[in-house]
A and B are shown apart, each in its own frame.
Chain A
Amino acid sequence: MTRFLFRRLAILIPTLIFVSMIIFGLQQLLPGDPAIAMAGEERDPQAIAELRAKYNLDKPIWVQYGLWIGGILQGDFGESIRIQLPVSQLLLEKLPVTIELAVLSMLVALLIGLPAGVISALYNGRWPDYLANVIGLWGLSTPNFWLGIMMILLFSVHLGWLPASGYVSPTEDLWANLQAMIMPAFVLGTGIAAVFMRHTRSAMLQVLASDYIRTARAKGLYERVVIGKHAFRNAAVPVITLGALEFGQLLSGAVLTEQIFSIPGFGKLIVDAVFNRDYAVVQGVVLCTATAYVLLNLLADIAYFLVNPRLRT
Chain B
Amino acid sequence: MSELAASSPAAAKKPAREDSPTRRAFRRLLRRKGAVVGLVVVLLFVCMALLADWIAPYNPTEADWSALRGEPTLEHPFGGDELGRDVLSRVIYGARASLFAGVISVLLALAIGIPVGLLSGYAGGVVDGVIMRFTDAMLAVPFLILAIAMAAFLGPSLANAMIAIGVAAAPIFVRLTRAQVQSVKVEDYVEAARAIGNSPARIAFRHILPNIWPALMVQSTLTIASAIIAEASLSFLGLGQQPPEPSWGSMLNAAKDYMSDAPWMAIYPGLSIFLVVLSFNLLGDGLRDALDPRHRD
Contacts and interface: CB of A to CB of B under 8 A. Distances in A.
Q: Do chains A and B touch in the complex (CB under 8 A)?
A: yes
Interface of A: 11, 14-16, 18-19, 21-23, 26-27, 29-31, 124-125, 129-130, 133-134, 137-138, 140-146, 149, 153, 194, 198, 202, 205-206, 209, 249, 252-253, 255-256, 267, 270-271, 274-275, 282, 286, 289-291, 293-294, 297
Nearest to A143: B232
Given A18-B137, A249-B142, A141 B236 contact: no
A22 B133 contact: no
Contacts of B232: 143, 146
14 contacts: A16-B137, A30-B149, A130-B34, A137-B281, A137-B282, A141-B273, A142-B273, A143-B233, A255-B142, A255-B144, A267-B142, A274-B149, A282-B145, A294-B140
A153 B255 CA distance: 13
A134 B144 contact: no
Given A31-B153, A141-B281, A124 B137 contact: no
A280 to B, nearest CB: 15
B26 interface: no
A138 B133 CA distance: 34
Contact of A124 (B150, B277, B281, B297): B297
**4 shortest A-B CB distances, which residue pairs?**
A18-B137, A252-B142, A290-B140, A141-B277
B146 A26 contact: yes
Nearest to B142: A252
Contacts of B142: 249, 252-253, 255, 267, 270, 286, 289
Contact of A274 (B152, B225, B256): B152
A134 B278 CA distance: 8
Given A22-B138, A26-B150, A149-B256, A11 B133 contact: yes
Contacts of A249: 142
A21 B138 CA distance: 10
A256 B233 contact: yes
B134 interface: yes
Contacts of A255: 142, 144-145, 148, 233
B55 interface: no
Contacts of B155: 31
Interface in B124-161: 130, 133-134, 136-142, 144-146, 148-150, 152-153, 155
The interface centre, meaning the residue of B140, B249, B274 with most chain A CB atoms within 10 A of its CB, is B140
Nearest to A147: B270
Contacts of A30: 149, 152-153
Contacts of B252: 143, 145-146
A119 B240 CA distance: 38
Nearest to A248: B140
A133 B38 CA distance: 12
A19 B141 contact: yes
A53 to B, nearest CB: 25
Contact of A140 (B136, B140, B225, B270): B225
Contact of B148 (A18, A146, A274): A274
Nearest to B33: A130
A17 to B, nearest CB: 8
Contacts of B137: 15-16, 18-19, 21-22, 290
A223 B23 CA distance: 35
Contact of B149 (A19, A26, A134, A145): A26
A54 to B, nearest CB: 24
Nearest to A273: B145
